[in-house]
Amino acid sequence: MERVVLHVDLDQFIVAVELLRRPELRGEPVLVGGIGDPTRRGVVAGASYEAREFGVHSGTPLRTAAKRCPQAVFLPLDRDAYLAASDTFTAALRDLSDVVEEAGWDEAYLLLDTDDATRSATELRGHVHTRTGLICSVGIGDNKLRAKTASGFAKPTAGVTDSGIFRLDAENWPRTMYERPPEALRGIGRRTAARLAERGLHSVGELAATDRFTLAEHFGPRNGPWLVAVARGYDPAPVHPEPYRPRSYGREITFQEDVTAPEPLRAELTRLSHLVAEDLAAHDLLASRVVVKLRDSHFRTHSHGVRPTTPTRDPATLAAASHEALAAFTLTRPTRLIGTRAELLTSTDTETEGR
Protein backbone atom coordinates (compact mmCIF):
# COMPACT_ATOMS: atom_id res chain seq x y z
CA MET A 1 0.00 0.00 0.00
CA GLU A 2 1.11 3.57 -0.66
CA ARG A 3 -0.39 6.96 0.09
CA VAL A 4 -0.77 9.18 -2.97
CA VAL A 5 -2.27 12.55 -3.78
CA LEU A 6 -4.62 12.67 -6.75
CA HIS A 7 -5.44 15.92 -8.54
CA VAL A 8 -8.71 15.53 -10.42
CA ASP A 9 -9.53 18.13 -13.07
CA LEU A 10 -12.67 18.14 -15.21
CA ASP A 11 -11.92 18.63 -18.90
CA GLN A 12 -13.33 21.77 -20.60
CA PHE A 13 -15.80 21.93 -17.70
CA ILE A 14 -18.22 24.67 -18.73
CA VAL A 15 -18.42 23.47 -22.32
CA ALA A 16 -18.71 19.85 -21.19
CA VAL A 17 -21.75 20.69 -19.06
CA GLU A 18 -23.36 22.38 -22.05
CA LEU A 19 -22.61 19.40 -24.30
CA LEU A 20 -24.51 17.12 -21.92
CA ARG A 21 -27.59 19.15 -22.84
CA ARG A 22 -26.63 19.56 -26.48
CA PRO A 23 -24.87 16.34 -27.55
CA GLU A 24 -25.38 17.23 -31.20
CA LEU A 25 -22.65 19.89 -30.76
CA ARG A 26 -19.91 17.39 -29.87
CA GLY A 27 -16.93 17.85 -32.15
CA GLU A 28 -17.96 21.42 -33.00
CA PRO A 29 -16.13 24.58 -31.92
CA VAL A 30 -18.29 25.69 -28.99
CA LEU A 31 -17.84 28.90 -27.03
CA VAL A 32 -19.71 29.88 -23.86
CA GLY A 33 -19.91 33.45 -22.63
CA GLY A 34 -22.21 36.36 -21.88
CA ILE A 35 -25.68 35.87 -23.30
CA GLY A 36 -24.31 33.82 -26.17
CA ASP A 37 -24.37 36.70 -28.64
CA PRO A 38 -20.95 37.45 -30.18
CA THR A 39 -22.16 40.79 -31.51
CA ARG A 40 -22.42 42.03 -27.93
CA ARG A 41 -19.56 42.77 -25.61
CA GLY A 42 -18.39 40.08 -23.26
CA VAL A 43 -15.66 37.47 -22.90
CA VAL A 44 -15.39 33.75 -23.43
CA ALA A 45 -15.89 31.78 -20.21
CA GLY A 46 -15.42 28.33 -21.73
CA ALA A 47 -14.01 27.07 -25.05
CA SER A 48 -14.13 23.59 -26.49
CA TYR A 49 -10.89 21.99 -27.59
CA GLU A 50 -12.01 22.45 -31.21
CA ALA A 51 -12.43 26.20 -30.65
CA ARG A 52 -9.07 26.50 -28.92
CA GLU A 53 -7.36 25.38 -32.11
CA PHE A 54 -8.37 28.76 -33.56
CA GLY A 55 -6.62 30.64 -30.76
CA VAL A 56 -9.74 31.24 -28.68
CA HIS A 57 -9.51 30.75 -24.92
CA SER A 58 -11.19 31.85 -21.72
CA GLY A 59 -11.01 35.61 -21.45
CA THR A 60 -11.00 36.23 -25.21
CA PRO A 61 -13.51 38.98 -26.11
CA LEU A 62 -16.57 37.47 -27.79
CA ARG A 63 -16.21 39.68 -30.85
CA THR A 64 -12.57 38.67 -31.25
CA ALA A 65 -13.55 35.03 -30.83
CA ALA A 66 -16.14 35.36 -33.59
CA LYS A 67 -13.52 36.76 -35.95
CA ARG A 68 -11.00 34.03 -35.18
CA CYS A 69 -13.56 31.25 -35.30
CA PRO A 70 -16.59 32.39 -37.36
CA GLN A 71 -18.01 28.86 -37.46
CA ALA A 72 -18.18 28.61 -33.66
CA VAL A 73 -21.44 27.93 -31.84
CA PHE A 74 -21.97 30.53 -29.10
CA LEU A 75 -23.93 29.62 -25.97
CA PRO A 76 -24.96 31.75 -22.97
CA LEU A 77 -23.56 31.26 -19.50
CA ASP A 78 -25.66 29.19 -17.08
CA ARG A 79 -24.00 29.60 -13.70
CA ASP A 80 -26.57 27.52 -11.82
CA ALA A 81 -26.02 24.54 -14.10
CA TYR A 82 -22.26 24.66 -13.54
CA LEU A 83 -22.63 24.90 -9.77
CA ALA A 84 -25.00 21.92 -9.75
CA ALA A 85 -22.55 19.88 -11.84
CA SER A 86 -19.73 20.90 -9.51
CA ASP A 87 -21.67 19.71 -6.46
CA THR A 88 -22.31 16.32 -8.08
CA PHE A 89 -18.63 16.06 -9.03
CA THR A 90 -17.50 16.73 -5.47
CA ALA A 91 -20.01 14.24 -4.07
CA ALA A 92 -18.66 11.60 -6.47
CA LEU A 93 -15.13 12.17 -5.20
CA ARG A 94 -16.25 11.87 -1.59
CA ASP A 95 -17.62 8.43 -2.44
CA LEU A 96 -14.02 7.31 -2.90
CA SER A 97 -12.05 9.19 -0.24
CA ASP A 98 -12.67 10.78 3.14
CA VAL A 99 -9.99 13.40 2.46
CA VAL A 100 -11.09 15.60 -0.45
CA GLU A 101 -9.94 19.19 -0.85
CA GLU A 102 -11.99 21.23 -3.28
CA ALA A 103 -9.73 23.53 -5.30
CA GLY A 104 -12.47 25.09 -7.43
CA TRP A 105 -15.74 24.09 -9.00
CA ASP A 106 -14.00 21.78 -11.48
CA GLU A 107 -10.96 20.44 -9.63
CA ALA A 108 -10.03 18.81 -6.33
CA TYR A 109 -7.29 16.93 -4.48
CA LEU A 110 -7.76 13.50 -2.90
CA LEU A 111 -5.59 11.68 -0.41
CA LEU A 112 -5.74 7.96 -1.11
CA ASP A 113 -4.20 4.76 0.27
CA THR A 114 -3.93 2.24 -2.55
CA ASP A 115 -1.98 -0.78 -3.71
CA ASP A 116 -2.27 0.34 -7.35
CA ALA A 117 -2.49 4.09 -7.91
CA THR A 118 -3.07 3.84 -11.66
CA ARG A 119 -5.91 1.38 -11.21
CA SER A 120 -7.45 3.59 -8.52
CA ALA A 121 -7.21 6.62 -10.82
CA THR A 122 -8.85 4.65 -13.63
CA GLU A 123 -11.69 3.61 -11.34
CA LEU A 124 -12.07 7.20 -10.16
CA ARG A 125 -12.38 8.48 -13.74
CA GLY A 126 -15.05 5.90 -14.43
CA HIS A 127 -16.97 6.75 -11.26
CA VAL A 128 -16.92 10.48 -12.01
CA HIS A 129 -18.15 9.85 -15.54
CA THR A 130 -20.95 7.60 -14.31
CA ARG A 131 -22.11 10.12 -11.72
CA THR A 132 -21.72 13.30 -13.78
CA GLY A 133 -21.39 12.38 -17.46
CA LEU A 134 -18.15 14.42 -17.46
CA ILE A 135 -14.58 13.41 -18.30
CA CYS A 136 -11.73 14.20 -15.93
CA SER A 137 -7.95 14.09 -16.03
CA VAL A 138 -6.14 12.66 -13.02
CA GLY A 139 -2.64 13.50 -11.85
CA ILE A 140 -0.97 11.13 -9.40
CA GLY A 141 1.73 12.55 -7.14
CA ASP A 142 3.48 12.23 -3.82
CA ASN A 143 2.43 15.81 -2.99
CA LYS A 144 -0.06 18.38 -4.26
CA LEU A 145 2.39 20.22 -6.52
CA ARG A 146 3.40 17.09 -8.38
CA ALA A 147 -0.18 15.84 -8.61
CA LYS A 148 -1.38 19.18 -10.02
CA THR A 149 1.45 19.27 -12.54
CA ALA A 150 0.77 15.66 -13.51
CA SER A 151 -2.90 16.33 -14.26
CA GLY A 152 -1.79 18.92 -16.79
CA PHE A 153 0.15 16.22 -18.63
CA ALA A 154 -2.93 13.98 -18.46
CA LYS A 155 -5.07 16.47 -20.40
CA PRO A 156 -6.19 15.45 -23.91
CA THR A 157 -4.43 18.48 -25.37
CA ALA A 158 -1.10 17.73 -23.69
CA GLY A 159 -0.28 14.94 -26.13
CA VAL A 160 1.52 12.97 -23.42
CA THR A 161 -0.95 10.18 -22.71
CA ASP A 162 -4.32 9.05 -24.01
CA SER A 163 -5.36 7.42 -20.73
CA GLY A 164 -6.24 10.67 -18.95
CA ILE A 165 -3.81 9.70 -16.16
CA PHE A 166 -0.23 10.74 -15.49
CA ARG A 167 2.09 10.27 -12.53
CA LEU A 168 4.81 12.56 -11.20
CA ASP A 169 6.80 11.76 -8.09
CA ALA A 170 10.31 12.14 -6.72
CA GLU A 171 11.59 9.40 -9.01
CA ASN A 172 10.53 10.80 -12.39
CA TRP A 173 10.28 14.52 -11.59
CA PRO A 174 13.85 15.35 -12.77
CA ARG A 175 13.63 13.57 -16.13
CA THR A 176 10.11 14.89 -16.77
CA MET A 177 10.55 18.49 -15.67
CA TYR A 178 14.20 19.55 -15.65
CA GLU A 179 14.45 20.27 -19.40
CA ARG A 180 11.28 22.37 -19.39
CA PRO A 181 11.21 26.16 -19.02
CA PRO A 182 10.43 27.62 -15.57
CA GLU A 183 6.93 28.64 -16.78
CA ALA A 184 6.04 24.94 -16.70
CA LEU A 185 5.99 25.23 -12.92
CA ARG A 186 2.87 26.24 -11.08
CA GLY A 187 3.11 29.79 -9.81
CA ILE A 188 5.85 30.97 -12.18
CA GLY A 189 4.67 33.36 -14.87
CA ARG A 190 6.32 35.19 -17.72
CA ARG A 191 7.66 38.05 -15.63
CA THR A 192 9.31 35.80 -13.08
CA ALA A 193 10.67 33.60 -15.88
CA ALA A 194 12.15 36.68 -17.54
CA ARG A 195 13.86 37.69 -14.29
CA LEU A 196 15.23 34.16 -13.93
CA ALA A 197 16.50 34.26 -17.51
CA GLU A 198 18.39 37.47 -16.71
CA ARG A 199 20.34 35.40 -14.20
CA GLY A 200 21.01 32.59 -16.67
CA LEU A 201 18.27 30.29 -15.38
CA HIS A 202 16.40 29.04 -18.44
CA SER A 203 15.17 25.63 -17.30
CA VAL A 204 13.58 23.96 -14.29
CA GLY A 205 16.75 21.92 -13.82
CA GLU A 206 18.96 25.00 -13.70
CA LEU A 207 16.62 26.58 -11.18
CA ALA A 208 16.55 23.41 -9.08
CA ALA A 209 20.36 23.39 -8.95
CA THR A 210 20.54 26.99 -7.73
CA ASP A 211 21.47 27.79 -4.15
CA ARG A 212 18.29 29.06 -2.49
CA PHE A 213 20.13 31.64 -0.41
CA THR A 214 21.73 33.13 -3.51
CA LEU A 215 18.33 33.42 -5.15
CA ALA A 216 16.92 35.03 -2.02
CA GLU A 217 19.21 38.01 -2.64
CA HIS A 218 17.36 38.73 -5.89
CA PHE A 219 13.82 37.53 -5.19
CA GLY A 220 13.48 38.04 -1.46
CA PRO A 221 13.93 35.81 1.59
CA ARG A 222 10.67 33.96 0.96
CA ASN A 223 10.27 33.93 -2.82
CA GLY A 224 13.87 32.96 -3.59
CA PRO A 225 13.89 29.70 -1.60
CA TRP A 226 10.31 29.00 -2.72
CA LEU A 227 11.32 29.13 -6.39
CA VAL A 228 14.07 26.58 -5.80
CA ALA A 229 11.74 24.34 -3.80
CA VAL A 230 9.09 24.38 -6.53
CA ALA A 231 11.69 23.53 -9.16
CA ARG A 232 12.65 20.49 -7.10
CA GLY A 233 8.99 19.48 -6.82
CA TYR A 234 8.80 20.10 -3.09
CA ASP A 235 5.43 20.96 -1.56
CA PRO A 236 4.71 20.50 2.18
CA ALA A 237 1.07 21.59 1.96
CA PRO A 238 -1.30 18.85 3.19
CA VAL A 239 -4.58 17.90 1.55
CA HIS A 240 -7.25 19.67 3.61
CA PRO A 241 -10.67 17.98 3.76
CA GLU A 242 -12.53 21.21 4.52
CA PRO A 243 -15.19 22.28 2.00
CA TYR A 244 -14.02 24.68 -0.67
CA ARG A 245 -14.48 28.33 0.15
CA PRO A 246 -13.82 30.90 -2.56
CA ARG A 247 -11.33 33.59 -1.65
CA SER A 248 -13.67 36.24 -2.98
CA TYR A 249 -17.11 36.85 -4.44
CA GLY A 250 -17.39 39.34 -7.25
CA ARG A 251 -19.67 40.62 -9.96
CA GLU A 252 -18.82 42.65 -13.04
CA ILE A 253 -20.36 44.02 -16.19
CA THR A 254 -19.01 44.75 -19.66
CA PHE A 255 -20.73 47.80 -21.08
CA GLN A 256 -22.08 47.52 -24.61
CA GLU A 257 -20.90 51.11 -25.16
CA ASP A 258 -17.95 52.69 -23.38
CA VAL A 259 -18.95 54.83 -20.41
CA THR A 260 -17.38 58.25 -19.92
CA ALA A 261 -19.38 59.73 -17.01
CA PRO A 262 -18.81 58.64 -13.40
CA GLU A 263 -22.48 58.46 -12.38
CA PRO A 264 -23.33 55.38 -14.49
CA LEU A 265 -20.28 53.70 -13.00
CA ARG A 266 -21.48 54.46 -9.49
CA ALA A 267 -24.94 53.20 -10.34
CA GLU A 268 -23.54 49.91 -11.65
CA LEU A 269 -21.35 49.50 -8.58
CA THR A 270 -24.41 49.93 -6.38
CA ARG A 271 -26.29 47.27 -8.33
CA LEU A 272 -23.34 44.88 -8.37
CA SER A 273 -22.72 45.42 -4.65
CA HIS A 274 -26.24 44.22 -3.90
CA LEU A 275 -25.59 41.05 -5.91
CA VAL A 276 -22.33 40.46 -4.04
CA ALA A 277 -24.16 40.98 -0.76
CA GLU A 278 -26.62 38.26 -1.79
CA ASP A 279 -23.72 35.90 -2.56
CA LEU A 280 -22.17 36.58 0.85
CA ALA A 281 -25.48 36.07 2.63
CA ALA A 282 -26.05 32.76 0.84
CA HIS A 283 -22.74 31.49 2.24
CA ASP A 284 -22.96 33.27 5.61
CA LEU A 285 -19.80 35.29 4.97
CA LEU A 286 -18.59 38.81 5.64
CA ALA A 287 -16.17 40.89 3.60
CA SER A 288 -13.21 42.70 5.14
CA ARG A 289 -12.10 44.31 1.86
CA VAL A 290 -13.86 45.57 -1.26
CA VAL A 291 -11.97 45.80 -4.54
CA VAL A 292 -13.16 47.59 -7.67
CA LYS A 293 -11.82 46.53 -11.05
CA LEU A 294 -11.96 48.80 -14.05
CA ARG A 295 -11.00 48.09 -17.66
CA ASP A 296 -10.70 51.06 -20.00
CA SER A 297 -11.26 51.37 -23.73
CA HIS A 298 -7.62 50.39 -24.37
CA PHE A 299 -8.17 47.11 -22.47
CA ARG A 300 -5.97 48.24 -19.59
CA THR A 301 -7.21 46.84 -16.29
CA HIS A 302 -6.65 48.45 -12.90
CA SER A 303 -8.02 47.91 -9.41
CA HIS A 304 -8.31 49.69 -6.07
CA GLY A 305 -9.35 48.28 -2.72
CA VAL A 306 -10.99 49.70 0.39
CA ARG A 307 -11.46 48.20 3.84
CA PRO A 308 -14.81 48.84 5.53
CA THR A 309 -14.66 49.77 9.22
CA THR A 310 -15.83 46.27 10.17
CA PRO A 311 -16.42 43.07 8.18
CA THR A 312 -19.77 43.34 6.49
CA ARG A 313 -22.19 42.06 3.90
CA ASP A 314 -24.54 45.03 4.15
CA PRO A 315 -25.25 46.07 0.53
CA ALA A 316 -25.22 49.78 1.30
CA THR A 317 -21.86 49.50 3.07
CA LEU A 318 -20.40 47.44 0.24
CA ALA A 319 -21.68 49.99 -2.27
CA ALA A 320 -20.20 52.86 -0.29
CA ALA A 321 -16.83 51.11 -0.18
CA SER A 322 -17.02 50.49 -3.94
CA HIS A 323 -17.73 54.16 -4.55
CA GLU A 324 -14.78 55.10 -2.36
CA ALA A 325 -12.54 52.75 -4.35
CA LEU A 326 -13.84 54.19 -7.62
CA ALA A 327 -12.86 57.65 -6.46
CA ALA A 328 -9.23 56.49 -6.33
CA PHE A 329 -9.17 55.99 -10.12
CA THR A 330 -8.07 58.66 -12.54
CA LEU A 331 -10.67 58.27 -15.27
CA THR A 332 -8.74 59.51 -18.28
CA ARG A 333 -10.26 57.05 -20.76
CA PRO A 334 -13.77 55.67 -21.32
CA THR A 335 -14.63 52.59 -19.25
CA ARG A 336 -15.32 49.27 -20.92
CA LEU A 337 -15.84 47.06 -17.85
CA ILE A 338 -16.38 47.59 -14.16
CA GLY A 339 -16.69 45.12 -11.31
CA THR A 340 -16.60 44.84 -7.55
CA ARG A 341 -15.59 41.93 -5.38
CA ALA A 342 -15.56 41.08 -1.68
CA GLU A 343 -12.27 39.76 -0.29
CA LEU A 344 -10.74 38.59 3.00
CA LEU A 345 -13.89 36.66 3.79
CA THR A 346 -14.83 35.53 7.29
CA SER A 347 -17.84 33.66 8.62
CA THR A 348 -20.28 35.27 11.02
CA ASP A 349 -19.35 32.57 13.57
CA THR A 350 -15.71 33.65 13.40
CA GLU A 351 -16.66 37.26 13.93
CA THR A 352 -18.85 36.37 16.90
CA GLU A 353 -16.04 34.34 18.49
CA GLY A 354 -13.64 37.25 17.91
CA ARG A 355 -15.82 39.52 19.97
Say which CATH number the domain at 55 has. 3.40.1170.60
The question of whether 353 is a catalytic residue gets the answer no
**Residues 6 and 118 reside in one and the same domain:** yes
Catalytic site residue from 18, 50, 102, 107: 107
**Residues 64 and 87 reside in one and the same domain:** no
**Run of H or E including 163:** none
Say how many C-beta atoms besides its own lie within 10 A of residue 349's C-beta: 9
**Residues 51 and 161 reside in one and the same domain:** no
d(CA 281, CA 59): 28
pLDDT on residue 352: 47
d(CA 106, CA 355): 36
Question: Does 243 reside within a domain?
Answer: no
Question: Does 20 reside within a domain?
Answer: yes
At residue 355 the predicted structure's pLDDT band, cuts being 50, 70 and 90, is very low
pLDDT digits (tens, 9 = 90+) for 217-259: 989 999 999 999 999 999 999 999 877 777 899 999 999 999 9
More confident residue, 340 or 354: 340
Say which CATH number the domain at 109 has. 3.30.70.270
Q: Is the pTM above the cut of 0.85?
A: no
Question: Does 242 reside within a domain?
Answer: no
- pLDDT averaged over every residue in the chain: 94
Question: Does 241 reside within a domain?
Answer: no
Closest C-alpha to 182, from 210, 201, 155? 201
At residue 353 the predicted structure's pLDDT band, cuts being 50, 70 and 90, is very low
pLDDT (mean) for 12-24: 97
Say which CATH number the domain at 224 has. 1.10.150.20
Domain of residue 40, residue span: 15-78
d(CA 28, CA 48): 8
Question: Does 240 reside within a domain?
Answer: no
**Residues 6 and 103 reside in one and the same domain:** yes
> Last residue of a domain, which of 149, 171, 193?
171
Question: Does 132 reside within a domain?
Answer: yes
**Residues 153 and 8 reside in one and the same domain:** yes
